[in-house]
Amino acid sequence: MNPASPEPLTLQALAAMCEGSPFIRFAGIQPLEVDAPAQRSVWRMPWRAEFERAQGSGQWQGGPIAALIDTAGCMGLIAVTGKPAGTVDFRTDYLRPATGAHLTAVATVRRAGRTMGVVDVDVLDPQDRLVAAGRGTFFIEQAR
């Protein structure tokens, strides 16, 4: 990525960025698809026993879901702009108990301005039911 003329990132570049983050690597969050012209990306996070809401419930705790929304939103913006970004604010609405072997996040960039971006993220269970929705505001780093 050239800071003077950033370009959208490839799926392989995003996967490498995820591998470079200890938290994202621990959570297992990986990009599945990136469509920079449509400003859309798809992410997956696999189930881990540490993510269980209550022992034996089989339900995802809210923290990992929020982390998926934050990560998919920020990385989705990075994918589109080709520039580093960071979280300013985000919200999460939990819509139903999440269960299953993985969660999928679909991130849609609503606005990518010069210094700020807004991204909506839908989180789906393995049956493609909407389990949570979020929106993040992210700063976009400028070349120095």
Give the span between the Cα atoms of 122 and 105, in whole angstroms: 6
Half-sphere exposure of 45 (CA within 13 A, CB side): 30
Domain positions in the chain are 11-140
- Please tell me the predicted confidence (pLDDT) of residue 97: 97
Ranges of residues in the chain whose predicted pLDDT is under 70:
1-5, 144
Cα-flanking dihedrals φ and ψ of residue 70, to 5°?
A: -60, -45
Name the strands in the sheet holding 30-35, side by side, starting at the edge strand that comes first in the sequence: 30-35, 40-46, 102-112, 116-124, 130-140, 85-94
DSSP state of 60: B
CA torsion through residues 102, 78, 112, 39, sign: negative
Stated pTM of the model: 0.93
Cα-flanking dihedrals φ and ψ of residue 72, to 5°?
A: -65, -40
- Please tell me the predicted confidence (pLDDT) of residue 144: 65
- Please tell me the predicted confidence (pLDDT) of residue 142: 85
> Tokens for 63?
């923290």
Q: Which CATH architecture has domain 11-140?
A: Roll (3.10)
The SS3 assignment for 35 reads: strand
